[in-house]
Amino acid sequence: MNQPRQVSLTFLPIVQRELYVAARRPLTFWSRQTAAVAAVGIAFVVLLGRTELGVVAPKMSAVAEAGALMFRTVSTVAFFGCLFAGILLTADCVSVEKREDTLGLLFLTDLKGYDVVLGKLVARSLHAVYCLLAAVPVMAVPLLFGGVTVAEFGRSAAVLLNTLFLSLAIGLFVSTLCRHRETACMIAEGVVLFLTFLWPAALAAWASRHAAVPLPGFLFLTSPFLMFRLAFASTTMPVPPSILPSLLTQFLLALALLAGASWWLPQSWQVKPPRRRLAAVNAWWHRWQFGRAASRAAFRRRLLETNPLYWLGSREQDIRRYVWGVTALLLGLGLAANMTGLAWAEPKPALTTVLFIHGIVSVMVAIDATGRLGGLRRNHLLQLVWSTRLSVEEIVRGQWLAIRRLFAGPVLAVLAFDALWCVMVTVDSPADNRWMPVVIAIMAGMFLWSLHALAWSGLWHGLKAKRTANATYLALGEILAFPLLFAIATQAASSSSGLTLMLAGWVVLSALANTLFTWGARSSLREQLHRFVMHPPPKTLPTMRDWNEDFALVKWEKTE
Separation of alpha carbons 18 and 129, rounded Å: 14
Q: Which of 176-190, 228-242, 317-331, 434-448 is predicted least confidently? A: 228-242
Helices H, strands E: what count in the chain? 25, 0
Of residues 285 and 362, the one with the higher pLDDT is 362
Structure confidence by residue, pLDDT tens digits, 436-452 = 778 888 888 999 999 99
Q: How far apart are CA 176 and CA 172, in angstroms?
A: 6
* Mean pLDDT score, 72-96: 88
Report d(CA 512, CA 462) in Å as an integer.
22
Q: Is the pLDDT of residue 540 over 70?
A: no
> 149-159, pLDDT tens digit by residue?
888 888 899 99
- Say what the pLDDT of residue 213 is: 66
Question: Which long-range contacts (C-beta less than 8 Å, at least 24 apart) are formed by 151-157?
Answer: 151/233, 152/71, 152/231, 152/232, 152/233, 153/71, 155/230, 155/231, 155/243, 156/71, 156/75, 156/228, 156/231, 156/232
Q: What pTM does this model have?
A: 0.81
Give the confidence band of 362 by pLDDT, cuts at 50, 70, 90. very high
Q: Which amino acid does the sequence have at 278?
A: L
Across 52-56, 276-280, 502-506, the highest mean pLDDT is recorded for 502-506
- For residue 240, pLDDT over 70 is answered with no
Residue 507 has pLDDT above 70, yes or no: yes
**Does the pLDDT at position 287 exceed 70?**
no
Q: What is the mean pLDDT of the chain?
A: 79
Q: 173 falls in which pLDDT band (50, 70, 90)?
A: very high
Is the four-CA dihedral 551, 555, 557, 559 of positive or negative sign?
positive
At 93, the amino acid letter reads: C
Q: Which of 147-156, 328-337, 360-369, 442-451 has the lowest mean pLDDT?
A: 328-337
Q: From 448, 451, 445, select the one nearest 366 (Cα to Cα).
A: 451
Q: What is the mean pLDDT of residues 197-215?
A: 75
Sorted by where each begins, the domain ranges of the chain are: 10-267, 294-554
DSSP code at position 543 = -
User: Is the CB of residue 232 less than 8 Å from the CB of residue 159?
Assistant: no
Q: Degrees (nearest 5) of the Cα angle 86, 150, 148?
A: 90
- pLDDT-derived band at 550, boundaries 50, 70, 90: very low
SS3 58: coil
pLDDT at 551: 36
- Confidence band, pLDDT 50/70/90 cuts, at residue 171: very high
CB 451 within 8 A of CB 360: no
